[in-house]
Amino acid sequence: MTIAAGEKVPAGKFKIATSDGLADLTTAQLFDGKRVLFFAVPGAFTPTCDARHLPGYVELADQIRAKGIDAIACMSVNDVFVMKAWGKSAAVGDKVLMLADGNGEYASALGLGLDASGFGMGQRSQRFAMVVKNGVVEQLHVEQGGEFKVSAADCLLARL
């Protein structure tokens, strides 16, 4: 079942790259006591994700934070090394947290998994964005297959 606005996000954890090496980041660490813009992409370095989705959040990060967002986080069903390389390539700096959901467990827990095996990509995440306040979903915007509209940074900025 897909998570909905008003529901508490499930517990889980991600892998992240830090200046001290690799680490786990729990959903409690990410969401508790904060308002977070959390978005997911089907894959790092894939065309729309790399050319438009992540860059939009990097570009608009300061404006998004000015609307009361404490953190912006990007999740993908990729390993932590790929997410680290993608963040470096996209020059995210400290504007966007790059979260690895390597086995797709969190995407599945949200009910937002995607079977992309027909494209040779295995299990992935649907493209979506949500605003989470203290662990509860305020807004959820899930893209229809192949679209890039409702989860774009400018669209979320307008809804904050």
49 labelled catalytic: yes
DSSP lists the bridge partners of residue 22 as: 17
Q: Which of 49, 93, 46, 63 is nearest to 155 (CA)?
A: 63
Q: Report yes or no: 64 and 154 within 8 Å, Cβ to Cβ.
A: no
Task: Report CA-CA distances (Å) from 32 to 21, 23, 29, 87, 134.
Answer: 23, 18, 6, 24, 5
Catalytic residue among 49, 130, 137, 140: 49
DSSP-derived secondary structure letter, 61: H
Task: Report CA-CA distances (Å) from 62 to 43, 57, 66.
Answer: 24, 9, 6
Q: In the numeric block, which tokens belong to residue 71?
A: 């953190």
Active site residues: 49
